[in-house]
Amino acid sequence: MPARTRDRRAEAERLREQIRHHDYLYYVRDRPAISDEAYDRLLVRLQKLETAHPELVTPDSPTQRVAGRASGAFVTVRHAAPMISLESTRERDEVARWDDRMRKALGPTLRYLLEPKLDGASMELVYERGRLARGVTRGNGDEGEAVTANVRTLASVPLALRTTVRSAPRLLSVRGEIMMGLRGFERLNKQLVQRDEEPFANPRNAAAGSLRQLDPRVTAERPLRFIAYEILAVEGAEFTDDEEVLAALRDWGLGTTDHTEEGRTLADIERYHAAMNARRDALGYEIDGVVIKVADLGARERLGATGHHPRWALAYKFPPRVEITRVEDITVQVGRTGVLTPVALLRPVEVGGVTVSRATLHNASEVKRRDIRVGDTVRVYRAGDVIPEIVERLPQRRGRRHAPFRMPARCPACGTRVQTEGPMTLCPNRFGCPAQLKRSLQHFASEGALDVQGIGEETANALVDHGLVREPADLFALTVDDFGSLEGFAEKSARKLVDEIAAARSLPLHRFLYALGIPGIGVTVARDLADRFGTMDALRSATRAALAETPRLGATRAADVYAFFHNARTKRVVDRLLAAGVEITREGRRRGPLSGKRVVFTGGLGTFTRPEAKKLVESLGGRTSENVGPNTDFVVVGESPGEKLDEARKYGIREMSEREFLGLLRQAGIKK
C-alpha cells in the first residue's frame, strides 16, 4: 500500500476516533471537551477526506449517520427479547404490598435500583459484533417497526460500540427511550407553528413522530436523544446486578440517566419518589414517575414474569397533571400565514400548578373526529410548558349537547372567504388580513429576522389597529411621534425603537428571507437558499427545479417558495421593502477574534443596543445565543445581569465585561 494511501487511511481513522470520543464525552459523560465549532471542523475534515477518497468510508463512520433519501413503509421486525410493560400504580399502599412481596421472596439482602420513569418513545437497539444492526420501535412488545435509518441519524446512538474499556459482545440488545428535551420540543413546535404546520401535543408524541419520518433527514433535524436503561439480550458478556449493566452500557458509549439511586427500604422508595417529583420540571425532559427494580439479576430470574409484567419491577407514577373542566366556547385564531386554528376556551382550571384557560383543537378534522362541542366536560392535560391538550371528552350525564362546531366560511379577522387544503382551513388574504399582518409584523421583527426587540405582540397589534402599519415596509417610515401616540411609549422609548428599526434596515439575505415569513421556511433553510442563490434577484427569478435542488428544501417547499415570489401581493410587498431602503448585505463573514465563538449577552449594554451587538458578533464570524450552555464560549456582562450569569459560572464559562468586548471589536478594526 503506498505511503500516501496509508497516511490518508490513518488520518480518516484518527478523525473517526476523535469524533466518537467527543460524542462519548457529550452524550455519556455530559462533559464536552471542545466547542460545537471545533467538533464541526473535525466532522467537515472527515467528510472532505471521505468524499475525495470513497474507499476510506466505513459503515460506522460518523459521516454515515444521514444517508439516502425517503424510504417506503417500515418493515416489522421481531425483538431479540420481549419488551414487556411494567405494572404501575400511584398508590403508596400498593407499593408497600409489592415491597412486602419482594421481602418475603428475597429476604434481608434485598436491594433496589431506583430510576426515573422516562416518558419517551421506547426503542430497542441491536448490536451485532459491536456494530449497530437495527433499531426497532416497541410495537406490541413482541415485534415492532424497524426504523434503523432514522436511529442512525442520532448522535447519541453509537454506530459502533466503544471497546476501550471492555470488548463488545457478539450480540447486544439494549432497551431505552428516545427522548426530546422540553427546550428542544418548544423550539420544534415554534418552528412548526411558524411554518403553519401542526405542532405536537407533548414531547413523547414528538419523539415518536420524529422516529417514524419516512425521510431520515427530517429525523436528523429533530432534537432527539437515546437514553439506555436495560439489556434485553446479550451473548458474550455476563452481569450479576443492574449497576454493572448500567456501567457496561456507559463503557460501550450508550448514555444512561444520571439520577439512579440504591434503595433498601420502603422509606427509601418514598423519599426518592418525592425528590424526583419535586425535581421533574428541572430535569429538562419528561418523566411521569419512578421505576423500582430488584437490583440482583439472579433474583430477577427467580422471580420471573407474568404474561404481561416482570414481577421484579414496579412503576410508581406521579400524580397526574390532568384536571376536569368545561368548554365555555370555541373560537378561531388566524395565524401568520393564514391558517385558521380552532381553540377551546375553558373554564379556568389549575393543572400542574398553572391556570389553564384555553387549549388548541388543531384543525376542523380533529374537532370533528373527537366531537368536542361548547358545553362539553373535558379532561385537560399539561406537562411542563407544553401546549395544554384536551385528552378526552367525558360522557354527558343529562341534557342535550350543543350543535357540532363548524369552521367559519369567512375569515373572522377580515371577512375573506376561506379555502380548504387537506385538514387546514386558510385565509388567502395574506398581507391584507389584519390578523395575519399582526403576526407577520411580529415575525418580521423577531430574532433571526430583523431582530428588533421592541416590537412584540402588543406593539405589533397596536401598530396595525391604529392604522400605522398596513404592510411591513411601513415599519421603516414610522416616526417618534407615531410611537408616541401609542399607549406605553414615552419619547425616550419611542426614539430608541425608531433608531433600532433604522439599524435593522441593513441585513444579510438569509435573515431577510426568514423575515418575509415564506411558508415552510425556517432559519436553516433560509440560509441554504441564500448560500445557493446569493442575491435576491437570482432567487426571485429561480425556477421550481432550481429551487428544489437547494439542500433540505425538497419539491413541495420549493413550490411554496416559487408561489410566494410569484404572487402579485407578495411581489409588491418585497418591492416596497426594497424601495423603503432595506439593504441586503453580502453573506460572507469576516474572520477575526470572534470566529467560531458562541456569545451570550446578559444585562444592559451602554455602547450599543442588543441587536447591534448581535450583528457585530455575526459580522465577525461568531454566533449569538439566548441561552447559556456548555458550548458557550463567553458571556458579555452588562449592567444588572440576570440568571444567565449564574448559569455561566456554573459551567465555568469565561465572563467578559462590555469594555473587554469593545477591546475585541477594536482588535478587529471596528471602532465604537
User: Do 15 and 42 meet the contact criterion of CB atoms below 8 Å apart?
Assistant: yes
pLDDT of residue 323: 85
pLDDT of residue 69: 46
β-pair partners for 325 = 378
CATH classification (class only), 322-393: mainly beta
| The two domains 88-317 and 322-393 share their CATH topology (first three levels equal) | no
From the candidate CATH numbers 3.40.640.10, 3.40.50.720, 3.30.470.30, 3.40.630.10, the one assigned to the domain spanning 88-317: 3.30.470.30
Q: Indicate the residue type of 423.
A: P
Report d(CA 166, CA 645) in Å as an integer. Answer: 40
Positions of the chain with pLDDT lower than 70, given as ranges: 1, 26-32, 35-37, 40, 65-73, 193-198, 201, 307, 352-353, 383-387, 397, 552, 586-593, 595-596, 621, 629-631, 651, 668-669, 671-672
How many Å is the maximal CA-CA distance in the chain? 87
Helix/strand/coil percentages in the chain, nearest 5: 40, 20, 40
Instruction: For the full predicted model, state whether its pTM sits above 0.75.
Output: no
Asked about 117 being catalytic, the answer comes back as yes
User: Do 85 and 309 meet the contact criterion of CB atoms below 8 Å apart?
Assistant: yes
Specify the DSSP element, H or E, that contains 667: helix 658-667
What are the DSSP calls for 409-452, one per residue?
Answer: SB-TTT-PBPEEETTEEE---TTTSHHHHHHHHHHHTSTTTT--
Report d(CA 610, CA 452) in Å as an integer. Answer: 9
Report d(CA 136, CA 77) in Å as an integer. Answer: 7
pLDDT of residue 353: 66
Could you count the other beta carbons within 10 Å of the beta carbon of residue 327?
23
pLDDT of residue 192: 75
Could you count the other beta carbons within 10 Å of the beta carbon of residue 287?
24
User: Do 332 and 340 meet the contact criterion of CB atoms below 8 Å apart?
Assistant: yes
Q: Indicate the residue type of 298.
A: G
Q: Which H, E and C letters describe 44-112, residue by residue? A: HHHHHHHHHCHHHCCCCCHHHCCCCCCCCCCCEEECCCCCCCCCEECCHHHHHHHHHHHHHHHHHHCCE
pLDDT of residue 222: 87
Q: Decide: residue 653, CB within 10 A, 0-12 exposed, 13-18 middle, 19+ buried.
A: buried
pLDDT of residue 590: 45
Could you count the other beta carbons within 10 Å of the beta carbon of residue 369?
11
Domain boundaries along the sequence of the chain: 3-64, 88-317, 322-393, 598-667
pLDDT of residue 67: 47
Dihedrals phi, psi of 86, to nearest 5 degrees:
-95, 145
pLDDT of residue 629: 66
- Please write the tens of the pLDDT for every residue from 290-347: 999 999 999 999 998 876 789 999 999 988 778 899 999 999 999 888 999 999 999 9
Residues 6+ apart with CB under 8 A from 256: 28, 227, 228, 229, 246, 249, 250
Report d(CA 349, CA 326) in Å as an integer. Answer: 9
Q: Annotated catalytic residue: which of 117, 293, 597, 644?
A: 117
Does domain 598-667 match CATH 3.60.15.10? no
pLDDT of residue 611: 72
Per CATH, the number for 3-64 is 1.10.287.610
